């Protein structure tokens, strides 16, 4: 897999061939799992086999311990004898009975480890209890290995805990779960998609916009989501499935064709300053379930490493690199121009510290499938209050939500529409897109429609623009949001230049710098539309109230 792709060959002034493609192999370790018969033995055997495979290829890898596994002498002996110096030991931040009791807190679970959000994660503990849990873990880790861990991962770590770990113990990197709705009871939706970001001090899921408001620990997104299909899986239901690089899933991480398709997107396509994927697996799945997938993936990683196409690093190494490179969360992209299912779909993700967006093509049909704004002032409900129940919810500020505002029959999105002289509207259909890296932080997507009108979509850090170079005489077009019926939308009012919205008690705006806004009424088929001026729209994503 070479870096230069068809979509990148005609970039004349800027060619970001030195943008690294980073893969972290992260295996996280539980001591026991009540869902697995003979779990203590099988989970230990799994880690033994993971280490053997890592050593076979001389890969740097990160092994993250829950407290129950950390204090087990069997694991300590294994790591000290078998793990090579190029690998990393760190913390996996799920809370267990031994951990809680060592911190002097009452255990509330029916087993020594449970998956309930208010028990297994620090979102369910008071700020003082979170400090106690961190302190007892760090003391024990240093007692065993002689230093404090530099990397701490979890499906989710709250911002209070993360900042405390940084300020008192100097962690340099963290990782959290991919975007998902309802999977295992955990909802993380609308965040910085893939790669890594600096979180807000009051909301670890929300990228910060300023240095003052950010925790200077990059959070890397885990599990390697399918850039086209993960978003819509489970559409119409309350719980999503998983299409990821995890080697236990037969249709994705265990499937060589899917893994090659995923790596093509990560390694060969435009991504701006870097691209990223996390490989590896939690030991609860056991070696029998993950062996085939891991033993297929590792030779692919090895060949890419030898060819100089990827960097295999520990999470700590990637965290230090990120902090050296970026004062703020950088703009990045994930470009997927081939479809594993050969159904004509293509996807482009763009992220910055201000917003994320996704473009989706389905054959000739095109839409903005997703736009979410980021605001460091949007405080998490779990920041200084213990959450209750077996689920947690983390969100950002929706402008377009192609999952929550859709059904299996009606797909929400912002579409480019043609308006004829009778005011009739029809969707403009497009040929294949061309994606260019205009600079290290600007991405351009160009599409021609069936009448050879050229549309350009350019993503900047704080805004995006849509423009048209018409070949068709008298062409009139708009950008229109449609959703499924009877969905709850955040929009309060529409002004000529501004949309006013509120989400979970937080007010925000979407501003049209060039062009204008028109809200739909009960007889219209659209929620709102953006009307270009001089064939150009510019949308500000900085949320300036």
- Tens-place pLDDT, residues 333-373: 999 999 999 999 999 999 999 999 999 999 999 999 999 99
Fold of 335-540: Beta-galactosidase; Chain A, domain 5 (2.70.98)
pLDDT at 238: 75
Measured in whole angstroms, how far is the alpha carbon of residue 184 from the centre of its chain? 17
Comparing 49-63, 163-177, 238-252, which segment has the lowest mean pLDDT? 238-252
Q: What is the mean pLDDT of the chain?
A: 92
| Residue that wins the pLDDT comparison between 10 and 298 | 298
The full 3-state SS of 320-379, as one line of letters, equals: HHHHHHCCCCCCEEEEECCCCCCCCEEEEEEECCCEEEEEEEECCEEEEEEEEECCCCCC
User: Which SS3 state, helix, strand or coil, does residue 296 take?
Assistant: helix
Coil/strand/helix, residue 520: coil
pLDDT the model gives residue 12:
28
Name the pLDDT band for 544 (thresholds 50, 70, 90). low
pLDDT > 70 fraction of the chain, expressed in percent and rounded: 97
3-state helix, strand, coil split of the chain in percent (to 5) is: 25, 30, 45
Q: Residues of CATH 2.70.98 domain(s) within the chain?
A: 335-540
Residue 15 predicted with pLDDT over 90: no
Confidence of residue 3 (pLDDT cuts 50, 70, 90): very low
Query: CATH for 20-326?
Result: 3.20.20.510
In angstroms, the CA 215 to CA 200 distance is 6
pTM comes to 0.93
Residues 457 and 428 sit within 8 Å (Cβ to Cβ)? no
Helical H segments across 170-237, by residue range: none
Q: Is the pLDDT of residue 9 over 70?
A: no
Reported as a single tens digit per residue, the pLDDT across 193-246 is: 999 999 999 999 999 999 999 999 999 999 999 999 999 998 877 778 889 999
Q: Could you tell me which of 219, 313, 309, 211 has the C-alpha nearest to residue 268?
A: 309
pLDDT of residue 457: 98
CATH 3.20.20.510 segments of the chain: 20-326
- Measured in degrees and rounded to the nearest 5, phi and psi for residue 282 equal -70, 145
Distance of CA 427 to the CA centre of its chain: 30
Angle between helices 287-306 and 256-263 (to 10 degrees): 40
pLDDT band at 392 (very low <50, low <70, confident <90, very high): confident
pLDDT digits (tens, 9 = 90+) for 236-246: 777 788 899 99
Strand bridging mode 345-351 / 355-362: antiparallel
Does residue 267 register a pLDDT over 50? Answer: yes
- What pLDDT is stored for residue 545 in this prediction? 54
Question: Which is more confidently placed, 7 or 329?
Answer: 329
């Amino acid at each position: 897999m070479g870096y230069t792709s068809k979509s990148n060959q005609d970039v004349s002034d800027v060619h970001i061939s030195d943008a690294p493609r980073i893969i972290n192999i992260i295996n996280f370790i539980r001591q026991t799992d009540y869902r697995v018969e003979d779990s203590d033995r099988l989970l230990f055997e799994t880690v033994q086999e993971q280490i053997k495979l890592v050593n076979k290829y001389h890969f740097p890898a990160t092994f993250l311990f829950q407290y129950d596994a950390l204090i087990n002498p069997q694991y300590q002996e294994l790591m000290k004898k078998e793990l090579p110096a190029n690998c990393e030991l760190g913390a996996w931040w799920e809370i267990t009975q031994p951990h809680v009791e060592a911190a002097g807190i009452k255990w509330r679970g029916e087993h020594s480890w449970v998956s309930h959000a208010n028990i297994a994660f620090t979102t369910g503990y008071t700020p003082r209890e979170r400090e106690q849990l961190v302190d007892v873990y760090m003391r024990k880790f240093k007692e065993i290995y002689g230093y404090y861990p530099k990397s701490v991962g979890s499906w989710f770590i709250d911002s209070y805990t993360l900042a405390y770990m940084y300020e008192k113990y100097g962690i340099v990197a963290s990782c959290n779960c991919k975007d998902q709705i309802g999977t295992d009871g955990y909802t993380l939706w609308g965040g910085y998609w893939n790669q890594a970001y600096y979180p807000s001090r009051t909301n670890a899921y929300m990228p910060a916009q300023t240095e003052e408001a950010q925790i200077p620990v990059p959070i890397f997104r885990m599990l390697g989501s399918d850039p086209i299909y993960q978003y819509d899986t489970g559409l119409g239901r309350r719980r999503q499935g998983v299409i990821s690089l995890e080697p236990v899933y037969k249709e994705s991480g265990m499937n060589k064709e899917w893994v090659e398709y995923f790596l093509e997107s990560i390694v060969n396509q435009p991504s701006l300053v870097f691209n990223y994927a996390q490989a590896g697996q939690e030991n609860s799945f056991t070696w029998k379930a993950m062996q085939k997938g891991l033993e297929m993936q590792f030779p692919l990683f090895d060949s890419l490493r030898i060819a100089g196409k990827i960097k295999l690093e520990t999470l700590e190494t990637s965290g230090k690199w990120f902090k050296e490179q970026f004062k703020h969360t950088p703009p990045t992209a994930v470009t997927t121009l081939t479809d594993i299912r050969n159904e004509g779909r293509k996807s482009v993700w763009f992220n910055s510290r201000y917003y994320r967006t996704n473009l989706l093509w389905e054959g000739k049909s095109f839409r903005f499938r997703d736009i979410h704004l980021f605001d460091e002032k949007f405080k998490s409900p779990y920041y200084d209050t213990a959450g209750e129940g077996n689920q947690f919810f983390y969100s950002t500020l929706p402008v377009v939500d192609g999952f929550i505002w859709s059904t299996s029959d009606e797909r929400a999105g912002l579409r480019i529409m043609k308006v004829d002289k009778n005011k009739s509207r029809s969707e403009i259909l497009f040929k294949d897109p061309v994606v260019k890296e205009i600079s290290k932080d600007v991405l351009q997507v160009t599409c021609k429609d069936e009448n050879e009108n050229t549309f350009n979509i350019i993503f900047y850090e704080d805004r995006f623009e849509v423009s048209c170079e018409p070949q068709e005489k008298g062409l009139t077009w708009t950008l229109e949001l449609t959703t499924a019926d009877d969905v709850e939308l955040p929009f309060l009012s529409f002004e000529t230049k501004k949309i006013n919205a509120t989400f979970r008690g937080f007010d925000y705006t979407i501003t049209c710098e060039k062009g204008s806004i028109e809200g739909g009424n009960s007889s219209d088929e659209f929620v709102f539309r953006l009307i270009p001026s001089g064939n150009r729209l510019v949308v500000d994503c900085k949320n300036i109230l």
